């Protein structure tokens, strides 16, 4: 399994914009090898918020195929020259190979 993570730092009260955006159906949902997309918001009392986007792929090659796909490239071309929303302060991306997944045993009662 291969995981793509993106962390967005956004101004207070604006995490919901990214949650809505990444929760909508998109062309990536039909990409071969995609497992799922998880959107998480860091619990904060006040101040800037963090939104984590986790995309799980069957393999690194599946992710590469998406990155090189016409649909993905077209999406980036359409955004070229447009400024990012003002509420997004910072974006950081990381890629991971999943080495192991532990599933706890649950005893039947």
Instruction: Please give the model's pTM, rounded to 2 decimal places.
Output: 0.87
Into how many domains does the chain fold?
1
Residue 60 class from Cβ within 10 Å (0-12 exposed, 13-18 middle, 19+ buried)?
middle
Residue 33's domain spans which residues?
Answer: 2-97
41 inside domain:
yes
**pLDDT score recorded for residue 108:** 67
**pLDDT score recorded for residue 3:** 98
CATH number of the domain that 67 lies in?
3.30.70.100
Local confidence pLDDT in tens for the 109 residues of the chain: 999 999 999 999 999 999 999 999 999 999 999 999 999 999 988 999 999 999 999 999 999 999 999 989 988 787 788 888 999 999 999 999 999 999 988 876 6
106 inside domain:
no
Residues 57, 35: Cα–Cα separation, whole Å: 5
């Amino acid at each position: 399994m291969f995981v793509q993570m993106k962390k967005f730092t956004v101004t207070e009260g604006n995490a919901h914009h990214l949650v809505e955006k990444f929760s909508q159906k998109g062309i990536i949902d039909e990409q071969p090898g995609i497992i799922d997309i998880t959107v998480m918001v860091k619990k904060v009392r006040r101040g800037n918020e963090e939104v984590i986007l986790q995309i799980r792929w069957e393999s690194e090659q599946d992710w590469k195929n998406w990155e090189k796909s016409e649909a993905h490239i077209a999406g980036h071309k359409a955004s070229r020259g447009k400024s990012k929303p003002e509420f997004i302060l910072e974006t950081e991306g990381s890629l991971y190979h999943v080495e192991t997944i532990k599933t706890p045993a649950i005893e039947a009662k």
